[in-house]
Structure 1
Amino acid sequence: MSGSVGFAVDDGVATITLSNPVRRNAITIEMYGRLEELFGSVAQDPGIRALVLRGADGAFAGGTDIGHLRTITTGEEGVAYEAHMRRVQSALVGLDVPVVSVVDGACVGGGIVFAALSDIVLCTPSSRFGSPIARTIGNTLSPTSIARLSETFGRRAAAEMLFTARLFSAEEALRAGFVTDVAGPAALEERLAGILDAIRACAPLTLASFRRLWRRVDAALGDIERDDVFAGVYASRDFAEGVEAFLAKRAPVFRGE
C-alpha cells in the first residue's frame, strides 16, 4: 500500500497523521479504511480528550488517490464509493471529543472535507484550500460536505470555490471563518498546545454535549436523496475523461456527457 496513517496518543490527545508524500498525502482507499478504524478506536477510548488530524511532509491531504477512482466505471460503483466515504466521515462526525485539524500545504478534496468536519482548524501561511474537482476529475461531493463547506466558508465563498475550482489562500480562509488561526510552524505548534491545554481543563461531558447537539442539528442532511445524483455523475463520460486526463497529466476535455 502506498501511503500510511500514523496514530499516537499522548496525554489524552490522539493524533492521526496522513502520509503519502509522493502524492501530497492523497488518501488511498486503504487509508480511508484505516481512518474509519482509528476513528472507531478513539470513540471507544474514554481517556482521549481530543483528536488532532494532520499531514506529513508539508501537506495536509491532497484529496482522494485518483488511482482508485479509475476502477469506478458505473453509477452503481460510484454510489458504493460515496457510501464508503460517508461511513468514514460519519465515524469522524460521530466522535464526542473536539477535533482539531492542523494544516500545512495542500488541503483539498477529501482533505478539505476532513477540515470542514473538524471543530478547529489551524494552518500555516503556505496552506491552500479548495475542492477543484469540477476542473480536474469531474466527480461530486456529498450533501453533508457541501453543507459543511457552505457553513464554514460561507455560501458565497463556497460557491466560488466549487464553481470555479479556485484554491483559497490561508488568509482568505481565515477571513471567511474556515480557519481559526494562521501562524508559522513553530508558533502554530504553540497555538495547538494552548488549545489542547484548554480542552483538557474543560468538563468532558460538556464538550461531548456540544458535539452531540451539533450532530442533531446536522441530522436532517441524512434525509436528502443523493444516490441518483452520484450515479449520474460517476457513470458519465466526463468523469472517465477527468480521471484519465489526471493520470495522464493533461487537461481534461469535458463535454457534459
Structure 2
Amino acid sequence: MTGHLIVTDDDAIRVITLRRPEKKNAITQDMYRGMSDAIDTAQTNPAIRCIIISGGPGVFTAGNDLEDFLKDGTSNSDAPRASNAVKFLYSLAHNAKPIVAAVDGIAIGIGTTMLFHCDYVLASTTATFSTPFIHLGLVPEGASSLLAPRAMGHQRAFAMLVMGRSLGAEEARLAGFVNAVVAPGHTETEARKVAREICALPAEAVAISRKLLKLPPEDLTRRIDQESHLFGERMRSTEAVAAFKAFFSRKRA
C-alpha cells in the first residue's frame, strides 16, 4: 500500500481514496497497484458488498503522471507500457462488486475512463471530465472506446474521445455516465448513502442482475489489450513525443 492511497472498510463498504493533493491525485504505479489489490481482495471477501472510489474533496484525479509517460514514449524498451495501470483496468473488468464513484473536481484521462466501469457515479457541480489523449497524439484506453459509445452514444463519445472535448457535471449527467450532481464537498457523503442503499439489497440478486447488465469481462480485457498495444505504439510516435515535449515546455515557461 502507498501513502498516496487510503483503503478503509466501513461495515460492508470498501472505500478507496486517492490522496496525492500536491499532484492533483495524479496516479503513480504504486497507487495503481494499491487500487488493484483493494479491488481484487474485495472479490473473495463476502463481508464487502460495495466499493467506493473517491479523490476526496476538490479533485478526483489528474490521471497519469505525464513525466512517466514522456519517459515511456522516448525509451527504446519494448516492455508493456504501464503494466500496473493495465492490471488496475483488468481488476475493474473482472470486478463483481458494485462500484460507486465520488467525483469532486477534475477527472482527466483514466480519471474519466475508469468511470465507465463504475455502476453509479456522483459528481459535484465543479466536476469536469476530459480525455485529452488526442492532444498528446495518443488513443483512448481503459476499454473506453468500447464502453463510452455504449454509455452515451457514438457522437458524444467521438466528441470526448477523439476531439478531446471536456464535459461539465451536468453535461455528463445528460450524457448518461453521471447519475447525480451534488454540491462540492458532498460527493463522498452521498456516495456512502448510495453504497448503503446497495448493501441493503439482497446480495445474490444484486450480483446476478449486475452481471446481466455488464459486458462479459473477456470483451473488456480484449479491448483493453487492443487499446494498450496501440497506446504503446503511439507513445513512441513522432506525434506523441513532440506533443509531450511541447506540453512540458509550456509547463516550465
Q: TM-score range by the shorter chain?
A: 0.7 to 0.9
Separation in structure 1 between the aligned mates of residue 233 and residue 55 of structure 2, nearest angstrom:
33
TM-aligned CA deviation for residue 94 of structure 1? 1.7
Separation in structure 2 between the aligned mates of residue 119 and residue 23 of structure 1, nearest angstrom:
27
- Correspondence for 2:233: 232
Gaps of 5+ in 2: none
Residues 218, 187 of structure 1: alpha-carbon distance in 2 compared, 3 angstrom cutoff: same
8 Å contact 2:53–2:102 — kept in the other structure? yes
TM-aligned CA deviation for residue 223 of structure 1? 4.2
TM-aligned CA deviation for residue 95 of structure 1? 1.9
Residues 2, 106 of structure 1: alpha-carbon distance in 2 compared, 3 angstrom cutoff: farther
- Correspondence for 2:206: 207
TM-aligned CA deviation for residue 191 of structure 1? 3.7
Residues 249, 43 of structure 1: alpha-carbon distance in 2 compared, 3 angstrom cutoff: farther
- Correspondence for 1:45: 45
8 Å contact 2:104–2:185 — kept in the other structure? no
Once structures 1 and 2 are overlaid, which stretch shifts more, 216-225 or 57-66? 216-225
- Correspondence for 1:144: 143
> Which amino acid in structure 2 is aligned with residue 22 of structure 1?
E
Residues 38, 189 of structure 1: alpha-carbon distance in 2 compared, 3 angstrom cutoff: closer
Separation in structure 1 between the aligned mates of residue 2 and residue 243 of structure 2, nearest angstrom:
22
1:216-227 equivalence runs, <5 A? 216-217=215-216, 219-223=218-222, 226=226
- Correspondence for 1:170: 169
Once structures 1 and 2 are overlaid, which stretch shifts more, 118-127 or 186-195? 186-195
Gaps of 5+ in 1: 252-257
8 Å contact 1:63–1:111 — kept in the other structure? yes
For residues 119-139 of structure 1, the C-alpha deviation after alignment (integer angstroms, 9 at most, x for no partner) is: 00001111001101212x322
State the TM-score, normalized to the length of structure 1: 0.85
TM-aligned CA deviation for residue 93 of structure 1? 2.6
TM-aligned CA deviation for residue 250 of structure 1? 5.4
1:1-257 equivalence runs, <5 A? 4-73=4-73, 77=77, 80-81=80-81, 83-135=83-135, 137-142=136-141, 144-185=143-184, 188=187, 191-217=190-216, 219-223=218-222, 226=226, 229-249=230-250
Residue aligned with 1:70, SS: helix
Separation in structure 2 between the aligned mates of residue 13 and residue 220 of structure 1, nearest angstrom:
27
Q: How many residues align?
A: 250
